Amino acid sequence: MPYLDHAATTPLREEALDAMLPWLREEYGNASSQHGPGRRARVAVENARKAVAAVLGCEPAEVLFTSGGTEADNAALRGALGPLAPEARTGLVTSAAEHDAILRTAEAWREAGHAVAVVPPLASGAADPEGLAAATSETTGLVSAMLVNNEVGAVSDITRIAADAHRAGALVHTDAVQAPGLLPLAVDALGVDLLSLSAHKVNGPKGIGALFVRAGTAFAPSVHGGAQERGRRGGTENVAAIVGFATALTLAEQEREETYARLSRLRQRLAAQIRAALPEAVFNTADATEGESPSSPEASGALDPQNAIPTAPHILSVSFPPGPHGPLDGEMILLGLDLAGVHASAGSACTSGALTPSHVLLAMGVPRETAAATVRFSLGRTTTEADIDAASSALAAVVRRARGV
């Protein structure tokens, strides 16, 4: 049964589970306690923090553990723009193709009386550097742009966005939740001041994430009630989840080039099969039909500050325009795939159940009726060629049946 929804969540890898088990069983100490079990838990948390920092190329003190990517995004915006921000610098600039964790927080920030600019993305779904720069003013405190779009896989030129924002006197945040194990995450190369991660997108446990906060950045606590995380996020640390996260992230970074090449080949195989079986298909993932993807992010120029690769290799978003009998029902397509044993999604898992088409696709200019008939396939470390072949065959059958063919 092909599972092709890795952008929503990934299976917990055995190494992460093995690292977690001692902290779920015999080592149950509170990391804030001063006795032996507490001190051992504190050592485990700080070793995990060092491991995450090593992947990001930052200092351990700059890593703040959260409950996941959504909290990390919320904390980034509210922490950087909150009571410790310069009074004249509380404005936010972001892209219309961001995750809802950013867009809904931006709405709340606007309702609280602050300036918020939401800029249309490029046609690929990537954040528009020129548009973001044009919207940044002397009142802008933070520019937030996603590194890898979670619905179409577009990679934004964060290095350029950061440089433009810094010239204007603003801080920069990137939601990098979809990037670990696929793209380099060195925060100095990216030029960002804040960066969000989530463990369950990289074969770690659910309920844990991290936020990089560059040293010297004025940052208000996201959760009050304790001195944990150097006073930036109160609450007892989830030691087991933190250890599992660090293990999964470290292994993903070690395997990054191999993973990138393998998923690129699999995605191209899937795109080619869909194109052959369903020529009317519209690919929302920009480079999915343009030959082989680069073998690694380094080969594509992702480490060059002047370049960003077109898309990450694990996401393929495909839509189907209306036919002679009218528009297709996207929910029925997904249900048909599920009944065939193929597990995919329409887009972000955080907006599943919504009856409206993806805000990302609409912002990219995809017609509403076409956007409403969309499938997002997302690949991961357990994906095989057999999964790809089964998925493309099932999709062809479901769409042809929906069209009455």
Task: Name the least confident of 228-237, 238-247, 250-259.
Answer: 228-237
In a domain, 145, yes or no: yes
Residue 212's DSSP bridge partners are 63, 195
Residue 335's CB is within 10 A of a number of other CB atoms, namely 12
- Phi, psi at 171, each rounded to 5°: -80, 165
> Within this chain, do residues 348 and 239 fall inside the same structural domain, yes or no?
no
Per-residue pLDDT of 181-238, as tens digits, reads 999 999 999 999 999 999 999 999 999 999 999 999 999 998 898 889 999 999 999 9
* Residue tagged 């994430």 (tokens): 209
Closest CA to 347 of 304, 379, 325, 315: 315
Token pair listed for 245: 């996260």
E strands, 49-156, are 63-66, 91-95, 116-119, 140-144
What is the pLDDT, as a whole number, of residue 293? 43
Q: Of 232, 249, 266, which residue is a domain's last?
A: 249
Cα(204)–Cα(100) distance, rounded to whole angstroms? Answer: 22
Q: What confidence category does residue 310 fall into, taking pLDDT thresholds of 50, 70 and 90?
A: confident
Mean pLDDT of 30-58: 97
Q: Are residues 88 and 193 in the same domain?
A: yes
Active site residues: 350
- Do 275 and 167 share a structural domain? no
Same domain? For 224 and 260 the reply is no
**Integer Cα distance of 117 and 291 in angstroms:** 36
Tell me the pLDDT band of 325, cut-offs 50, 70 and 90.
confident
Residue 8 lies in a domain: no
Average pLDDT over residues 272-287: 95
In the chain the first and final C-alpha atoms are separated, in Å, by 25
Instruction: Please check whether residue 49 lies inside any domain of the structure.
Output: yes
For the cut 50, the answer to whether the pLDDT of residue 71 exceeds it is yes
- Look at residue 5 and tell me if it is in a domain: no
- Residue 128 scores a pLDDT above 60: yes
Higher pLDDT, 121 or 347: 121
Nearest in space to 8 (alpha carbons), one of 136, 178, 137, 260:
178
Using 50, 70 and 90 to split pLDDT, how confident is the model at 300?
A: very low
The band of 355, judged by pLDDT with boundaries at 50, 70 and 90, is: low
- Cβ proximity of 199 and 244 under 8 Å: yes
The last residue of one of the domains, among 249, 265, 290, is 249
Note the pLDDT of residue 290: 52
Tokens describing residue 137: 């003013």
For residues 382 and 392, give the distance between their C-alpha atoms in angstroms, rounded to a whole number: 17
Regarding whether 261 and 173 lie in a shared domain, the answer is no
Q: How far apart are alpha carbons 43 and 318 in whole angstroms? A: 46
Q: Three-state DSSP class for 160?
A: helix
C-alpha span between 20 and 247 (Å, rounded) = 9
Domain contains 3? no
Q: How far, in Å, are 54, 88, 106, 263, 329 from residue 96 at the CA level? A: 32, 24, 11, 27, 25
Token duo for residue 156: 């934004």
Q: Residue 305: pLDDT band by 50, 70, 90 thresholds?
A: very low
Note down the domain range covering 290.
256-299+309-403
Q: What is the CA radius of gyration of the chain?
A: 21
**Rounded CA separation 37/288 (Å):** 51
> According to the model, what pLDDT value does residue 295 have?
45
Look up tokens 């042809």; give the residue: 400
Angle at 65 between CA 152 and CA 104, to 5 degrees: 45
Does 39 fall in a domain?
Answer: yes
Please give the mean pLDDT across all residues of the chain: 93
Give the pLDDT score at 404.
85
Question: Quick one: 112 and 30 in the same domain?
Answer: yes
Position 289 in a domain = yes
In the chain, the number of structural domains is 2
Dist CA 95 CA 99 (whole Å):
9
φ, ψ (nearest 5 deg) of residue 172: -135, 135
Do 200 and 97 sit in the same domain of this protein?
yes
Q: How many CA atoms lie within 13 A of 143 on its CB side?
A: 31
pTM for this prediction:
0.94
- Long-range CB contact pairs, 20-27, < 8 A, 24+: 20/205, 20/240, 20/241, 20/243, 20/244, 20/247, 21/240, 23/239, 23/240, 23/243, 24/240, 27/239
Verify that 269 and 242 share a domain, yes or no. Answer: no
Q: What is the pLDDT of residue 222?
A: 82
Mean of pLDDT values over 64-75: 98
Residue 107 placed within a domain: yes
240 plus 295 within the same structural domain = no
Strand partners, 213: 194
Q: Do 295 and 367 fall within a single domain? A: yes
Is the model more confident about 323 or about 74? 74
Binned at pLDDT 50, 70 and 90, residue 307 comes out as: very low
The domain that holds 244 is classified in CATH as 3.40.640.10
Look at residues 226, 249, 272 and tell me which one is the last residue of a structural domain.
249
154, 229: one domain: yes
What backbone torsions phi and psi does residue 118 show, to the nearest 5 degrees?
Answer: -110, 115
In this prediction, what percent of the chain has a pLDDT beyond 70?
93
Percentage, residues of the chain above pLDDT 90:
86
CATH of the domain at 339: 3.90.1150.10
Give yes or no: residues 223 and 293 share one domain.
no
Give the C-alpha separation, 249 to 147, whole Å: 17
